[in-house]
């Protein structure tokens, strides 16, 4: 198994895409550190991972707070005896017209989506260097990191920023053989999309479910994405087959945005 025995930390692992990534990496033999702001969700996923026979530890942390990210990485290393992969997956959505968005809303989403990714990159890279080893940094981007979407403008801006950080960090850490890449899903049927759909409905008057259906109808492969679809790409980025890839933000969207 490609990442057998490696230690992987996944943020936002209490549900959705993060949970799917954690389960997939555990199935490939990795030891898993689960990070989220919700302890109850972490416990549930930890039980699923234990049932697969993998080693697992949990840590409640807010990725927008650098000290908490540092504590989570230290905790993973201490509990699991190493540190090889970080998946900076935690993120929030925001549906708002540019004409109506407030400073508070902008600050909140940039703090979690952009600073959360930045602290994850910074802390993980420092840990790899201190341990004298190589490592893999994998960030959650989006189709919205390649194209701005109406009513998702600020969210899109955060994901463009994630793509920029992925490229810059790849260049800064390449000499240390630390790779930095990102996955860019399209429309994944998680709670995030339930919330996006509900907010579109509030703002535009669309029926509940209509926006989601409209987006899914635009997918060439004809179905919504699953967390497992995303996890397959992340397993590749976490393993040795991607050792020669860095700085890339890879679209995995069933055919929505073509670059
Ligand atoms: N669902 C989708 O269609 C897409 C999602 N993405 C990205 O994938 C990532 C995961 O998305 P989903 O699983 O759909 O979201 P989700 O909303 O289902 O799950 C997000 C998880 O992150 C946790 N979280 C939120 N704020 C946090 C914080 N400050 N610190 C730590 N954990 C926090 C939540 O508690 C939750 O468990 C996000 O970065 C999102 O932007 C990208 C493209 C499409
Ligand atoms: C949630 C997300 O990234 C989109 C645009 O679907």
What tens digit of pLDDT does each residue of 124-160 get? Answer: 999 999 999 999 999 999 999 999 999 999 999 999 9
Q: How far is CA 73 from the centre of its chain?
A: 16
DSSP calls for 192-205: HHHHHHHHHHHHH-
Q: From the CA of 12, how far away is ligand 1's center (Å)?
A: 6
Could you say which DSSP state residue 180 is in?
Answer: E
State yes or no: 216 annotated in a binding site. Answer: no
Ligand 2 atom nearest residue 193's Cα: 1
Strand partners, 252: 185
* Active-site option among 155, 173, 183, 212: 155
Question: Nearest C-alpha to atom 16 of ligand 1 is from which residue?
Answer: 192
**ipTM confidence score:** 0.99
Active site residue 155: yes
What tens digit of pLDDT does each residue of 81-124 get? Answer: 999 999 999 999 999 999 999 999 999 999 999 999 999 999 99
Spell out the domains of the chain, with CATH numbers in brackets: 7-186+227-252 (3.40.50.720)
**Which phi-psi region, left, alpha or beta, contains residue 211 (left: φ > 0; alpha: ψ -120 to 50)?**
alpha
Contacts of 243 (CB under 8 A, 6+ apart): 179
Laid out side by side, the sheet with 31-36 consists of: 56-60, 31-36, 7-11, 85-88, 135-140, 178-185, 249-252
Contacts of 112 (CB under 8 A, 6+ apart): 62, 63, 64, 90, 91, 92
pLDDT at 1 (0 to 100) = 46
SS3 23: helix
Q: Look up residue 166 and give its two tokens.
A: 């992925």
Nearest to 178 by CA among 84, 80, 87, 115: 84
Question: Nearest C-alpha to atom 40 of ligand 1 is from which residue?
Answer: 91
Note the pTM of the prediction, 2 decimals. 0.98
Mean pLDDT, the chain, rounded, equals 98
State yes or no: 187 annotated in a binding site. Answer: yes
What tens digit of pLDDT does each residue of 191-250 get? Answer: 999 999 999 999 999 999 999 999 999 999 999 999 999 999 999 999 999 999 999 999
């Amino acid at each position: 198994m490609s990442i057998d025995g490696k230690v992987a930390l996944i943020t936002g692992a209490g549900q959705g895409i993060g949970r799917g990534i954690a389960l997939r990496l555990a199935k490939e033999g990795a030891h898993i550190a689960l990070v989220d702001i919700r302890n109850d969700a972490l416990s549930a996923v930890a039980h699923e991972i234990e049932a697969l026979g993998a080693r697992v530890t949990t840590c409640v942390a807010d990725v927008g707070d650098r000290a908490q990210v540092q504590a989570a990485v230290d905790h993973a290393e201490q509990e699991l005896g190493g540190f090889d992969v970080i998946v900076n997956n935690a993120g929030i959505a925001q549906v708002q017209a540019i004409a109506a968005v407030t400073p508070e809303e902008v600050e909140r989403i940039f703090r979690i989506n952009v600073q959360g990714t930045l602290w994850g990159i910074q802390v993980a890279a420092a840990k790899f260097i201190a341990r004298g080893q190589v490592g893999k940094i994998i960030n959650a981007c989006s189709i919205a990191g390649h194209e701005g979407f109406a009513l998702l403008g600020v969210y899109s801006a955060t994901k463009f920023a994630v793509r920029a950080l992925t490229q810059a960090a790849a260049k800064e850490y390449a000499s240390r053989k630390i790779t930095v890449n990102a996955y860019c899903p399209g429309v994944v049927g998680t709670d995030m999309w339930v919330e996006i759909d509900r907010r579109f409905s509030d703002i535009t008057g669309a029926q509940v479910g209509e926006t989601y259906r409209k987006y899914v109808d635009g997918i060439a492969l004809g179905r919504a994405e699953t967390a497992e679809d995303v996890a397959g790409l992340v397993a590749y980025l976490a393993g040795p087959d991607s050792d020669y890839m860095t700085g890339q933000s890879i679209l995995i969207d069933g055919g929505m945005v073509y670059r």
